[in-house]
Amino acid sequence: MSGIIDQIAQILGYGQDSQKTASVLINGALITGWTDVTVRCGVDLMPWVADLGMTSYQPDVGTDVTINEGDAVQLWIGTDQLITGYVVTVVEAVSEGRHEIRLQIASKSMDLVDCSAEFSTYQMNSTNAVALAKRVAQFADIDVSQINGAGNVDLQQFSVILTETAYEIIERVARLAGVLFYDLPDGNVAFSAVGSQRMASGLIYGENVEQMTTVRSTAGRFSSITAVLMTTALLFSEPGDADYVGQMDAVTSGAVAEDPGIARTRPLLIPAELGDQDYAVTTKRVHWEVARRYGRANTVTVTCDSWRDTSGNLWAVNHMAPVRLKSGQEMDLVIAEIVFRQGEDGTRADLVLLPPEGLMPEPLLLPALSNEGIQAINS
Protein backbone atom coordinates (compact mmCIF):
# COMPACT_ATOMS: atom_id res chain seq x y z
CA MET A 1 0.00 0.00 0.00
CA SER A 2 2.81 2.42 0.87
CA GLY A 3 4.27 1.89 -2.60
CA ILE A 4 1.04 3.11 -4.23
CA ILE A 5 0.93 6.15 -1.95
CA ASP A 6 4.56 6.96 -2.76
CA GLN A 7 3.84 6.60 -6.47
CA ILE A 8 0.86 8.97 -6.20
CA ALA A 9 2.91 11.47 -4.21
CA GLN A 10 5.73 11.39 -6.77
CA ILE A 11 3.33 12.06 -9.64
CA LEU A 12 1.00 14.56 -7.98
CA GLY A 13 3.32 16.14 -5.43
CA TYR A 14 2.59 16.90 -1.79
CA GLY A 15 0.65 20.19 -2.05
CA GLN A 16 -3.00 20.81 -1.26
CA ASP A 17 -3.97 20.56 -4.93
CA SER A 18 -2.68 16.99 -5.06
CA GLN A 19 -5.11 15.98 -2.30
CA LYS A 20 -8.10 16.79 -4.51
CA THR A 21 -6.81 14.96 -7.57
CA ALA A 22 -8.41 11.66 -8.56
CA SER A 23 -6.21 8.76 -9.65
CA VAL A 24 -7.16 5.29 -10.83
CA LEU A 25 -4.94 2.24 -10.43
CA ILE A 26 -5.60 -0.42 -13.09
CA ASN A 27 -3.29 -3.31 -13.98
CA GLY A 28 -0.44 -1.70 -12.08
CA ALA A 29 -0.74 1.60 -13.99
CA LEU A 30 -1.65 4.78 -12.13
CA ILE A 31 -3.90 6.86 -14.39
CA THR A 32 -4.38 10.58 -13.82
CA GLY A 33 -5.53 13.50 -15.94
CA TRP A 34 -9.29 13.08 -15.50
CA THR A 35 -11.42 15.83 -17.01
CA ASP A 36 -14.43 15.21 -14.77
CA VAL A 37 -15.07 13.02 -11.74
CA THR A 38 -18.25 12.00 -9.92
CA VAL A 39 -18.08 9.58 -6.98
CA ARG A 40 -21.17 8.56 -5.03
CA CYS A 41 -20.95 6.95 -1.58
CA GLY A 42 -23.70 6.30 0.95
CA VAL A 43 -24.87 4.32 3.94
CA ASP A 44 -27.93 3.18 1.98
CA LEU A 45 -26.02 2.93 -1.32
CA MET A 46 -24.34 -0.31 -2.32
CA PRO A 47 -22.20 -0.54 -4.32
CA TRP A 48 -20.38 2.77 -4.21
CA VAL A 49 -19.92 4.01 -7.78
CA ALA A 50 -17.82 6.45 -9.76
CA ASP A 51 -18.04 7.98 -13.21
CA LEU A 52 -14.88 9.47 -14.71
CA GLY A 53 -14.02 11.09 -18.03
CA MET A 54 -10.51 11.15 -19.45
CA THR A 55 -8.36 11.32 -22.56
CA SER A 56 -6.58 8.12 -23.47
CA TYR A 57 -3.24 9.94 -23.61
CA GLN A 58 -1.66 10.35 -20.19
CA PRO A 59 0.73 13.30 -19.85
CA ASP A 60 2.35 11.73 -16.79
CA VAL A 61 3.03 8.45 -18.54
CA GLY A 62 3.38 9.44 -22.17
CA THR A 63 1.65 6.37 -23.54
CA ASP A 64 -1.87 5.30 -24.36
CA VAL A 65 -3.54 3.30 -21.60
CA THR A 66 -5.82 0.37 -22.35
CA ILE A 67 -8.72 -0.18 -19.96
CA ASN A 68 -10.98 -3.22 -20.22
CA GLU A 69 -14.35 -3.85 -18.65
CA GLY A 70 -14.01 -6.17 -15.67
CA ASP A 71 -10.54 -4.94 -14.72
CA ALA A 72 -9.84 -4.65 -11.01
CA VAL A 73 -9.55 -0.99 -10.05
CA GLN A 74 -8.72 1.29 -7.15
CA LEU A 75 -9.88 4.91 -7.00
CA TRP A 76 -7.71 7.30 -5.01
CA ILE A 77 -8.33 10.90 -4.01
CA GLY A 78 -4.88 12.29 -3.36
CA THR A 79 -3.25 9.66 -1.15
CA ASP A 80 -6.57 8.37 0.25
CA GLN A 81 -8.19 5.26 -1.18
CA LEU A 82 -11.92 5.76 -1.79
CA ILE A 83 -13.19 2.79 -3.85
CA THR A 84 -11.85 -0.70 -4.49
CA GLY A 85 -13.76 -2.60 -7.12
CA TYR A 86 -14.10 -3.25 -10.82
CA VAL A 87 -14.47 -1.44 -14.11
CA VAL A 88 -18.12 -1.90 -15.06
CA THR A 89 -18.39 0.04 -18.32
CA VAL A 90 -15.92 1.65 -20.73
CA VAL A 91 -17.30 4.16 -23.23
CA GLU A 92 -15.01 5.50 -25.98
CA ALA A 93 -15.74 8.53 -28.15
CA VAL A 94 -13.46 9.02 -31.17
CA SER A 95 -13.40 11.81 -33.73
CA GLU A 96 -10.81 13.79 -35.68
CA GLY A 97 -8.18 14.88 -33.17
CA ARG A 98 -10.22 13.65 -30.22
CA HIS A 99 -10.19 10.42 -28.25
CA GLU A 100 -12.09 10.41 -24.97
CA ILE A 101 -12.90 7.59 -22.58
CA ARG A 102 -15.62 7.51 -19.95
CA LEU A 103 -15.16 5.01 -17.18
CA GLN A 104 -17.79 3.66 -14.79
CA ILE A 105 -16.57 1.72 -11.79
CA ALA A 106 -18.27 0.10 -8.81
CA SER A 107 -17.02 -1.25 -5.51
CA LYS A 108 -16.53 -4.97 -4.99
CA SER A 109 -19.87 -5.21 -3.22
CA MET A 110 -21.59 -5.11 -6.62
CA ASP A 111 -21.15 -8.89 -6.61
CA LEU A 112 -23.02 -9.11 -3.30
CA VAL A 113 -25.88 -7.06 -4.73
CA ASP A 114 -26.13 -8.86 -8.07
CA CYS A 115 -25.29 -12.48 -7.30
CA SER A 116 -27.19 -15.24 -5.55
CA ALA A 117 -25.67 -16.76 -2.44
CA GLU A 118 -24.73 -20.42 -2.54
CA PHE A 119 -24.65 -22.65 0.53
CA SER A 120 -24.30 -26.32 1.29
CA THR A 121 -27.23 -25.86 3.67
CA TYR A 122 -29.84 -23.14 3.80
CA GLN A 123 -30.74 -23.67 7.47
CA MET A 124 -28.12 -22.62 10.02
CA ASN A 125 -28.17 -23.11 13.79
CA SER A 126 -26.05 -21.62 16.58
CA THR A 127 -24.17 -19.16 14.43
CA ASN A 128 -22.93 -15.59 14.82
CA ALA A 129 -24.04 -12.58 12.79
CA VAL A 130 -20.52 -11.52 11.83
CA ALA A 131 -19.40 -15.08 11.04
CA LEU A 132 -22.48 -15.63 8.87
CA ALA A 133 -21.93 -12.36 6.98
CA LYS A 134 -18.29 -13.25 6.39
CA ARG A 135 -19.30 -16.64 5.03
CA VAL A 136 -21.82 -15.11 2.63
CA ALA A 137 -19.33 -12.51 1.35
CA GLN A 138 -16.40 -14.89 1.02
CA PHE A 139 -17.08 -15.81 -2.62
CA ALA A 140 -16.62 -12.14 -3.62
CA ASP A 141 -13.30 -11.88 -1.75
CA ILE A 142 -14.94 -9.45 0.68
CA ASP A 143 -14.38 -9.37 4.43
CA VAL A 144 -16.71 -7.92 7.07
CA SER A 145 -15.11 -5.40 9.41
CA GLN A 146 -16.59 -4.58 12.80
CA ILE A 147 -16.39 -0.92 13.82
CA ASN A 148 -16.13 -0.73 17.61
CA GLY A 149 -17.16 -4.38 17.85
CA ALA A 150 -20.57 -3.85 16.24
CA GLY A 151 -22.63 -6.87 15.15
CA ASN A 152 -21.29 -9.47 17.55
CA VAL A 153 -24.69 -11.09 18.07
CA ASP A 154 -25.43 -14.81 18.29
CA LEU A 155 -28.18 -16.22 16.07
CA GLN A 156 -29.73 -19.48 17.24
CA GLN A 157 -31.46 -20.06 13.91
CA PHE A 158 -31.21 -18.50 10.49
CA SER A 159 -32.80 -19.59 7.23
CA VAL A 160 -31.71 -18.54 3.76
CA ILE A 161 -34.20 -18.31 0.91
CA LEU A 162 -32.85 -20.08 -2.18
CA THR A 163 -33.25 -17.06 -4.49
CA GLU A 164 -31.84 -14.43 -2.11
CA THR A 165 -28.81 -12.42 -3.16
CA ALA A 166 -25.79 -12.22 -0.89
CA TYR A 167 -26.64 -8.58 -0.17
CA GLU A 168 -30.20 -9.44 0.89
CA ILE A 169 -28.93 -12.07 3.31
CA ILE A 170 -26.27 -9.86 4.88
CA GLU A 171 -28.67 -6.92 5.10
CA ARG A 172 -31.14 -9.14 6.98
CA VAL A 173 -28.37 -10.40 9.26
CA ALA A 174 -27.30 -6.80 9.95
CA ARG A 175 -30.84 -5.84 10.95
CA LEU A 176 -31.03 -8.82 13.31
CA ALA A 177 -27.75 -7.64 14.82
CA GLY A 178 -29.00 -4.04 15.02
CA VAL A 179 -26.20 -2.54 12.92
CA LEU A 180 -25.65 -0.70 9.66
CA PHE A 181 -24.03 -2.46 6.71
CA TYR A 182 -22.14 -0.41 4.12
CA ASP A 183 -19.07 -0.24 1.88
CA LEU A 184 -15.52 0.58 2.94
CA PRO A 185 -12.79 2.15 0.75
CA ASP A 186 -10.66 -1.02 0.84
CA GLY A 187 -13.40 -3.05 -0.85
CA ASN A 188 -14.65 -4.75 2.29
CA VAL A 189 -17.90 -3.95 4.10
CA ALA A 190 -18.57 -2.68 7.60
CA PHE A 191 -20.87 -3.57 10.46
CA SER A 192 -21.30 -0.40 12.49
CA ALA A 193 -23.58 1.43 14.88
CA VAL A 194 -25.07 4.71 13.64
CA GLY A 195 -22.65 7.63 13.78
CA SER A 196 -19.92 5.63 15.50
CA GLN A 197 -17.20 8.00 14.24
CA ARG A 198 -16.86 11.78 14.01
CA MET A 199 -15.39 14.24 11.52
CA ALA A 200 -12.71 16.64 12.77
CA SER A 201 -14.77 19.69 11.77
CA GLY A 202 -18.28 20.61 10.76
CA LEU A 203 -20.20 22.32 8.00
CA ILE A 204 -20.91 26.02 8.41
CA TYR A 205 -22.97 28.08 6.02
CA GLY A 206 -20.91 30.99 4.72
CA GLU A 207 -17.58 29.33 5.51
CA ASN A 208 -17.01 25.92 3.92
CA VAL A 209 -20.65 25.55 2.79
CA GLU A 210 -21.61 27.32 -0.44
CA GLN A 211 -25.22 26.11 -0.60
CA MET A 212 -27.53 24.58 1.98
CA THR A 213 -30.99 23.06 1.63
CA THR A 214 -33.04 22.09 4.68
CA VAL A 215 -36.15 19.93 4.51
CA ARG A 216 -38.75 19.78 7.28
CA SER A 217 -41.71 17.59 6.47
CA THR A 218 -44.67 15.75 7.99
CA ALA A 219 -44.82 13.28 5.09
CA GLY A 220 -44.97 9.70 6.30
CA ARG A 221 -45.27 10.72 9.96
CA PHE A 222 -48.09 9.83 12.35
CA SER A 223 -49.37 11.23 15.62
CA SER A 224 -49.33 7.76 17.19
CA ILE A 225 -48.11 4.32 16.18
CA THR A 226 -49.62 1.32 17.94
CA ALA A 227 -48.69 -2.35 17.70
CA VAL A 228 -51.66 -4.74 17.52
CA LEU A 229 -51.88 -8.50 17.87
CA MET A 230 -52.53 -10.26 14.57
CA THR A 231 -53.76 -13.62 15.86
CA THR A 232 -56.24 -16.04 14.33
CA ALA A 233 -58.80 -14.96 16.95
CA LEU A 234 -59.39 -11.80 14.93
CA LEU A 235 -60.57 -13.89 11.99
CA PHE A 236 -63.32 -15.61 13.98
CA SER A 237 -64.49 -12.82 16.30
CA GLU A 238 -67.36 -10.75 15.00
CA PRO A 239 -66.81 -7.06 15.77
CA GLY A 240 -69.32 -5.51 18.12
CA ASP A 241 -70.40 -1.93 17.70
CA ALA A 242 -71.26 -1.65 21.39
CA ASP A 243 -67.71 -2.15 22.63
CA TYR A 244 -65.32 -1.60 19.75
CA VAL A 245 -62.99 0.33 22.06
CA GLY A 246 -62.74 -2.64 24.37
CA GLN A 247 -62.09 -4.94 21.45
CA MET A 248 -59.28 -2.68 20.23
CA ASP A 249 -57.79 -2.72 23.72
CA ALA A 250 -57.94 -6.52 23.68
CA VAL A 251 -55.90 -6.79 20.50
CA THR A 252 -53.47 -4.01 21.35
CA SER A 253 -50.07 -5.02 22.70
CA GLY A 254 -49.75 -1.87 24.77
CA ALA A 255 -46.79 -0.70 22.70
CA VAL A 256 -47.58 2.85 21.64
CA ALA A 257 -45.31 5.69 20.52
CA GLU A 258 -46.31 9.27 19.78
CA ASP A 259 -44.75 11.91 17.53
CA PRO A 260 -45.00 15.32 19.26
CA GLY A 261 -44.39 17.02 15.92
CA ILE A 262 -47.76 15.90 14.51
CA ALA A 263 -50.58 17.97 15.98
CA ARG A 264 -53.61 16.44 14.25
CA THR A 265 -54.85 12.90 14.71
CA ARG A 266 -52.95 10.54 12.37
CA PRO A 267 -52.91 7.02 13.85
CA LEU A 268 -51.04 4.04 12.42
CA LEU A 269 -51.39 0.38 13.41
CA ILE A 270 -48.55 -2.07 12.88
CA PRO A 271 -48.50 -5.82 13.65
CA ALA A 272 -46.79 -7.10 16.78
CA GLU A 273 -44.49 -10.04 16.15
CA LEU A 274 -45.61 -13.37 17.56
CA GLY A 275 -43.29 -14.78 20.18
CA ASP A 276 -42.15 -11.39 21.46
CA GLN A 277 -42.08 -11.93 25.21
CA ASP A 278 -43.54 -8.94 27.10
CA TYR A 279 -43.53 -7.17 23.72
CA ALA A 280 -40.01 -5.86 24.36
CA VAL A 281 -39.01 -5.83 20.67
CA THR A 282 -42.45 -4.55 19.65
CA THR A 283 -42.10 -1.59 22.03
CA LYS A 284 -38.71 -0.78 20.54
CA ARG A 285 -40.15 -1.04 17.06
CA VAL A 286 -42.99 1.46 17.55
CA HIS A 287 -40.50 3.98 18.96
CA TRP A 288 -38.17 3.19 16.05
CA GLU A 289 -41.01 3.84 13.59
CA VAL A 290 -41.61 7.31 15.05
CA ALA A 291 -37.91 8.17 15.29
CA ARG A 292 -36.96 6.94 11.82
CA ARG A 293 -39.87 8.71 10.14
CA TYR A 294 -38.88 11.92 11.91
CA GLY A 295 -35.24 11.50 10.89
CA ARG A 296 -36.04 10.83 7.24
CA ALA A 297 -38.38 13.84 7.11
CA ASN A 298 -35.77 16.30 8.41
CA THR A 299 -32.69 16.41 6.21
CA VAL A 300 -29.96 18.90 5.39
CA THR A 301 -28.15 18.89 2.03
CA VAL A 302 -25.01 20.99 1.64
CA THR A 303 -22.59 21.79 -1.15
CA CYS A 304 -19.13 22.06 0.35
CA ASP A 305 -16.15 23.78 -1.28
CA SER A 306 -13.78 20.99 -0.25
CA TRP A 307 -13.64 17.22 -0.23
CA ARG A 308 -12.00 17.25 3.21
CA ASP A 309 -12.46 18.49 6.76
CA THR A 310 -9.99 20.78 8.53
CA SER A 311 -7.76 17.83 9.45
CA GLY A 312 -7.44 16.78 5.82
CA ASN A 313 -9.73 13.75 6.11
CA LEU A 314 -12.13 12.99 3.28
CA TRP A 315 -15.77 13.44 4.22
CA ALA A 316 -16.99 9.96 5.18
CA VAL A 317 -20.40 8.34 5.49
CA ASN A 318 -21.79 7.37 8.90
CA HIS A 319 -19.64 10.05 10.53
CA MET A 320 -21.17 12.64 12.83
CA ALA A 321 -20.60 16.28 11.91
CA PRO A 322 -21.84 19.53 13.47
CA VAL A 323 -23.90 21.65 11.07
CA ARG A 324 -24.57 25.38 11.48
CA LEU A 325 -27.50 26.77 9.53
CA LYS A 326 -27.75 30.28 8.12
CA SER A 327 -29.96 31.18 11.10
CA GLY A 328 -27.14 30.22 13.45
CA GLN A 329 -28.88 27.07 14.69
CA GLU A 330 -26.46 24.20 15.26
CA MET A 331 -27.27 20.52 14.91
CA ASP A 332 -25.27 17.32 15.25
CA LEU A 333 -26.10 15.19 12.21
CA VAL A 334 -24.80 12.04 10.56
CA ILE A 335 -23.50 11.99 6.98
CA ALA A 336 -25.76 9.62 5.04
CA GLU A 337 -24.60 10.20 1.46
CA ILE A 338 -21.75 11.98 -0.32
CA VAL A 339 -21.17 12.94 -3.93
CA PHE A 340 -17.60 13.97 -4.70
CA ARG A 341 -17.53 15.84 -8.00
CA GLN A 342 -14.92 17.66 -10.02
CA GLY A 343 -15.23 19.37 -13.38
CA GLU A 344 -15.20 22.72 -15.11
CA ASP A 345 -16.96 24.34 -12.14
CA GLY A 346 -14.25 23.17 -9.74
CA THR A 347 -14.14 20.72 -6.86
CA ARG A 348 -17.27 20.26 -4.76
CA ALA A 349 -18.78 17.76 -2.32
CA ASP A 350 -22.53 17.35 -1.92
CA LEU A 351 -23.46 15.88 1.47
CA VAL A 352 -26.83 14.65 2.70
CA LEU A 353 -27.10 14.72 6.49
CA LEU A 354 -29.91 13.69 8.78
CA PRO A 355 -30.58 13.02 12.47
CA PRO A 356 -29.08 9.70 13.65
CA GLU A 357 -32.61 8.40 14.22
CA GLY A 358 -33.11 8.36 10.45
CA LEU A 359 -30.54 5.59 10.02
CA MET A 360 -31.33 3.39 13.01
CA PRO A 361 -31.87 -0.27 11.97
CA GLU A 362 -35.33 -1.73 12.53
CA PRO A 363 -35.54 -3.81 15.74
CA LEU A 364 -36.31 -7.42 14.82
CA LEU A 365 -37.18 -10.48 16.87
CA LEU A 366 -34.48 -13.13 16.61
CA PRO A 367 -35.77 -16.13 14.58
CA ALA A 368 -35.44 -18.70 17.37
CA LEU A 369 -37.53 -16.61 19.77
CA SER A 370 -40.17 -16.12 17.10
CA ASN A 371 -40.39 -19.85 16.38
CA GLU A 372 -40.74 -20.69 20.09
CA GLY A 373 -43.57 -18.16 20.43
CA ILE A 374 -45.45 -19.54 17.43
CA GLN A 375 -45.07 -23.09 18.73
CA ALA A 376 -46.49 -22.03 22.10
CA ILE A 377 -49.49 -20.38 20.44
CA ASN A 378 -50.24 -23.39 18.25
CA SER A 379 -49.83 -25.96 21.03
Q: Which residues contact 7 (CB under 8 A, 6 or more apart)?
A: 30
Residues counted in the chain: 379
Q: How confident is the model at residue 3 (pLDDT cuts 50, 70, 90)?
A: low
Instruction: Note the pLDDT of residue 374.
Output: 40
Residue type, 317: V
Peptide bond before 185: cis, by omega within 30 degrees of 0?
no
Q: How confident is the model at residue 55 (pLDDT cuts 50, 70, 90)?
A: confident
Q: How confident is the model at residue 272 (pLDDT cuts 50, 70, 90)?
A: confident
CA dihedral (182, 184, 189, 195) in degrees, to 10, reads -50
pLDDT digits (tens, 9 = 90+) for 33-50: 898 999 999 999 999 999
Q: How many CA atoms lie within 13 A of 232 on its CB side?
A: 3
Q: Which residues contact 20 (CB under 8 A, 6 or more apart)?
A: 77, 78, 306, 307, 308, 342, 347
225 pLDDT more than 70: yes
240 pLDDT more than 80: no
Q: Which residues contact 92 (CB under 8 A, 6 or more apart)?
A: 56, 99, 100, 101, 102
d(CA 255, CA 233): 20
Per mean pLDDT, which of 6-10, 248-252, 266-270 is the most reliable? 266-270
Q: Which residues contact 346 (CB under 8 A, 6 or more apart)?
A: 305
Q: What angle do CA 216, 217, 218 make, to 5 degrees?
A: 145
Per mean pLDDT, which of 145-159, 270-284, 363-377 is the most reliable? 145-159
Percent of the chain at pLDDT above 70?
Answer: 83
Q: Which domains does the chain have, with CATH numbers?
A: 2-106 (2.30.300.10), 112-192 (3.55.50.10), 197-217+297-359 (2.30.300.10), 224-295 (no CATH)
Instruction: Note the pLDDT of residue 274.
Output: 75
Instruction: Note the pLDDT of residue 14.
Output: 56
Phi, psi values for residue 370, rounded to 5°: -65, -45
159 pLDDT more than 90: no
- Give the range among 4-18, 98-112, 211-225 with minimum mean pLDDT: 4-18
233 pLDDT more than 60: no
Instruction: Note the pLDDT of residue 378.
Output: 39
Q: How far apart are the first and last CA of the chain?
A: 60
Mark 27-63 as b/e (b = at least 16 C-beta within 10 Å). eeebbbbbeebbbbbbbebbbbbbbbbbebebeeeee
Query: Residue by residue, what is the 3-state secondary structure of the chain?
Result: CHHHHHHHHHHHCCCCHHHHCEEEEECCEEECCEEEEEEEEECCCCCCEEEEEEECECCCCCCECCCCCCCEEEEEECCEEEEEEEEEEEEEEEECCEEEEEEEEEECCHHHHHCECCCCCCEEEEEEHHHHHHHHHHHHCCCEEECCCCCCCEEEEEECCCCCEHHHHHHHHHHHHCCEEEECCCCCEEEECCCCEECCCCEEECCCEEEEEEEECCCCCCCEEEEEECCCHHHHCCCCHHHHHHHHHHHEEEEEEECCCCCCCCEEEEEECCCCHHHHHHHHHHHHHHHHHHHHCEEEEEEECCCECCCCCECCCCEEEEEECCCCCEEEEEEEEEEEEEECCEEEEEEEEECHHHHCCCCCCCHHHHHHHHHHHHC
